[in-house]
């Protein structure tokens, strides 16, 4: 068999697999019209394809249901649900704790709203410090720490924990955004 026939026989395989391009198809059809040997090869390949297909086995009707019923929990399932919940709960607890602590130092006469402006200031400082940490803005962090230190040791502790919590939340958000971007690519 010469090289030209070898090419056509490769194409016969591609034809069997449904992978023959239109140009190849035209050339192959032209060749087959005048080549009995290649027509015989085409018949043999088609018979082989049918034979191999006849050797396939059926999958049980309830295969999918069984897989889904026994599907084990994946680590990523727990991670995605719990990480958000844990971060949110942590921030809420810390915010509540901060409100309680700062309420004792609030100006008298402001009632239950007394600690609110202080708390908002503190949260804003924490967020700035958190963002500053991520952007390596040590100057901003230093200023925030100085202010906190001057206020009271409790403020310093609360600020420190809030900075860590906000940073954790930001890191989670960034990781989630990066994973989503990677998946959608």
Partner 1 sequence: MSQEPPQPAEDLELIQAVLQGDRERFGELVERYQGRLVNHLFRMLRSVEEARDLAQEVFFKVYQALDRYDPRYRFSTWLFRVAQNAAIDRIRKRRLQTVSMDRQPDPEGGSRSWEFSADGPDPYRELRSHELSLAIQRAIEGLPWEYRELIVLRHYGELSYGEIAELKEMPLGTVKNKLFRARQMMKEKLGDFLAE
Residues near partner 1, by CB under 8 A = 9-10, 13-14, 17, 19, 44-45, 47-49, 51-60, 63-64, 66-68, 70-72, 74-77, 79-81, 179, 182-185
The CB-of-5 to partner 1 minimum distance in angstroms stands at: 12
**Residue 10: closest CA among 35, 34, 42:** 42
CA pair distance 24, 18, nearest whole angstrom: 12
Nearer to partner 1, 77 or 121 (CB): 77
**Residue 15: closest CA among 49, 57, 62:** 49
Instruction: Give Cα separations from 124 to 22, 27, 119 (angstroms).
Output: 65, 73, 8
The CB-of-91 to partner 1 minimum distance in angstroms stands at: 22
Nearer to partner 1, 24 or 147 (CB): 24
The CB-of-19 to partner 1 minimum distance in angstroms stands at: 5
Q: Rounded to 5 degrees, what are φ and ψ at 28?
A: -65, -45
CA pair distance 102, 106, nearest whole angstrom: 6
Nearer to partner 1, 62 or 107 (CB): 62
Structure tokens given for 156: 């310093």
The CB-of-180 to partner 1 minimum distance in angstroms stands at: 9
Nearer to partner 1, 29 or 77 (CB): 77
Nearer to partner 1, 48 or 134 (CB): 48
DSSP type of residue 61:
T
Q: Confirm if 128 and 161 have CB atoms less than 8 A apart.
A: no
12: burial class by Cβ within 10 Å (0-12, 13-18, 19+)? buried
The CB-of-9 to partner 1 minimum distance in angstroms stands at: 7
The CB-of-181 to partner 1 minimum distance in angstroms stands at: 10
Nearer to partner 1, 150 or 182 (CB): 182
CA pair distance 67, 63, nearest whole angstrom: 6
């Amino acid at each position: 068999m010469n090289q030209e026939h070898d090419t056509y026989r490769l194409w016969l395989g591609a034809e069997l697999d449904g992978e023959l391009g239109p140009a190849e198809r035209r050339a192959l059809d032209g060749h087959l019209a005048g080549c009995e040997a290649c027509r015989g090869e085409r018949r043999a390949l088609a018979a082989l394809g049918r034979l191999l297909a006849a050797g396939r086995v059926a999958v049980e009707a309830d295969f999918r249901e069984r897989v889904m019923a026994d599907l084990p929990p994946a680590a990523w399932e727990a991670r995605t649900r719990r990480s958000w919940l844990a971060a949110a709960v942590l921030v809420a607890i810390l915010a509540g704790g901060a409100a309680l602590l700062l309420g004792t130092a609030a100006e008298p006469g402001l009632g239950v709203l007394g600690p609110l402006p202080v708390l908002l200031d503190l949260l804003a400082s924490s967020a700035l410090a958190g963002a500053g940490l991520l952007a390596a803005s040590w100057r901003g962090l230093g200023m925030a720490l100085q202010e906190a230190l001057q206020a009271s040791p409790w403020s310093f502790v609360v600020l420190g924990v809030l900075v860590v919590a906000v940073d954790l939340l930001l890191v989670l958000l960034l990781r989630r955004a990066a994973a989503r971007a990677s998946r959608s690519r």
